[in-house]
Amino acid sequence: MLNVAWVRELDEPTTGEVRGLLLAAREVDGRPEVGQDGPLPGEFSGGLHLLAHADGELAGYAHLDTGGDAFGNQVAELIVHPGHRRRGVGTRLVAELLEKVGAQGKLRVWAHGDHPAAARIAEHQGFARARELLVLHVEAADADWPEPVLPEGVSLRTFVPGQDEQAVVDVNARAFDWHPEQGQLTVAELADTEPADWFDAAGFFLAERDGRLLGFHWTKIHPADPGQFRGEPVGEVYVVGVDPAAQGGGLGKALTLAGLRYLRDQGLGQVILYVEGDNAPAIAVYTKLGFTRYAVDVQYAQ
């Protein structure tokens, strides 16, 4: 018997249940990225939570971002406990999400890892494959990345907390006005990351000309995860943003190289990045830098 319920906020015991499910999924799927303690990942904050219990255990969980993305889609994350898969849990969760959003709503659902089971559920529920988010990977120790060559008159420095947030957010909004999530970054959200253990201003590079920000490369270092990347810490090309007015002159490549060389200099053997599957120019640049496909996340749409 599957019992499902919507809740607006997770209390401490339920948060522990959800964390246990996410950790179990990570052991099998490699994702989502979730720690043994601390807050749940940001994609599971706010909005509504859908809990599916079977025999007293949390068998499935979905988070619905009711605020939606930049294009008015409500976006859900859906995970079924590995011990309860192929029992109709995912189908039931999707049906509940559709009922909650309603006939006039627009719903998109993430499937982390391109699982055949997710594709089957999507087809049966009338969803289509709408977006692919690729995870690319490179062995940093083996990469021969040259020094970045900046366009004439452009200088490089690192981020100063309390000073540079607004300029970064402004460039980010222009650079990612086409992106469902990234273009919505706010000053408050950026500032909220600064106390995090992974935030490193020394790995946050800003490119300027005459004191005006043209682009940035925000890097990230993930702690060691026993289930991924040989159990080693891994670097990430977190965000590379270039003002559209400054694109086309090699600034994006220079910023990318600056961040990659920094991550390698931290002793990291591996670097990852996320890129939209239809962003052929970016994929071509990253391929030339040694990146290869590691995994894919799929977003299905009504």
Which of 250, 257, 246, 242 is closest to 176 using CA atoms?
A: 242
Q: Considering the domain boundaries, does residue 89 fall inside one?
A: yes
The reply to whether 162 and 291 lie within a common domain is: yes
- pTM of this prediction? 0.84
Domain range for 69: 2-126
Would the annotation count 89 as a binding residue?
Answer: yes
The reply to whether 209 and 261 lie within a common domain is: yes
CATH of residue 87? 3.40.630.30
Last-in-domain residue among 80, 106, 126: 126
Give the integer Cα–Cα distance in Å for 26 and 36.
11
Would the annotation count 183 as a binding residue?
Answer: no
Would the annotation count 211 as a binding residue?
Answer: no
The reply to whether 149 and 277 lie within a common domain is: yes
Domain count, the chain: 2
In order along its 302 residues, the chain shows pLDDT tens digits of 899 999 999 999 999 999 999 999 988 887 787 878 878 888 888 899 999 999 999 999 999 998 888 788 899 999 999 999 999 999 999 999 999 998 667 899 988 878 888 889 899 888 999 999 999 999 998 899 999 999 999 999 999 999 999 999 999 999 999 888 887 899 999 999 999 889 999 999 999 999 999 999 999 998 877 667 777 899 999 999 999 999 888 999 999 999 999 999 999 999 999 999 998 988 998 999 999 999 899 999 98
Which of 207, 214, 189 is closest to 259 using CA atoms?
A: 207
Would the annotation count 247 as a binding residue?
Answer: yes
Enter the tokens of residue 276.
């939209």
Give the integer Cα–Cα distance in Å for 146 and 2.
56
The reply to whether 9 and 37 lie within a common domain is: yes
Would the annotation count 106 as a binding residue?
Answer: no
The reply to whether 85 and 174 lie within a common domain is: no
What is the SS3 assignment for 295? strand
The reply to whether 113 and 10 lie within a common domain is: yes
Would the annotation count 220 as a binding residue?
Answer: yes
Helix ranges, the chain (H): 12-29, 89-101, 116-124, 165-175, 187-193, 251-265, 280-288
The reply to whether 13 and 159 lie within a common domain is: no
Would the annotation count 288 as a binding residue?
Answer: no
Q: Considering the domain boundaries, does residue 131 fall inside one?
A: no
Last-in-domain residue among 104, 126, 148: 126
Would the annotation count 227 as a binding residue?
Answer: no
Would the annotation count 169 as a binding residue?
Answer: no
The reply to whether 230 and 169 lie within a common domain is: yes
The reply to whether 119 and 210 lie within a common domain is: no
Would the annotation count 38 as a binding residue?
Answer: no
With b for 16 or more beta-carbon neighbours within 10 A and e for fewer, the 242-260 pattern comes to bbeebeeeebbbbbbbbbb
Q: Return all residues near 3 (Cβ < 8 A) that are at least 6 apart.
A: 52, 53, 54
Would the annotation count 42 as a binding residue?
Answer: no
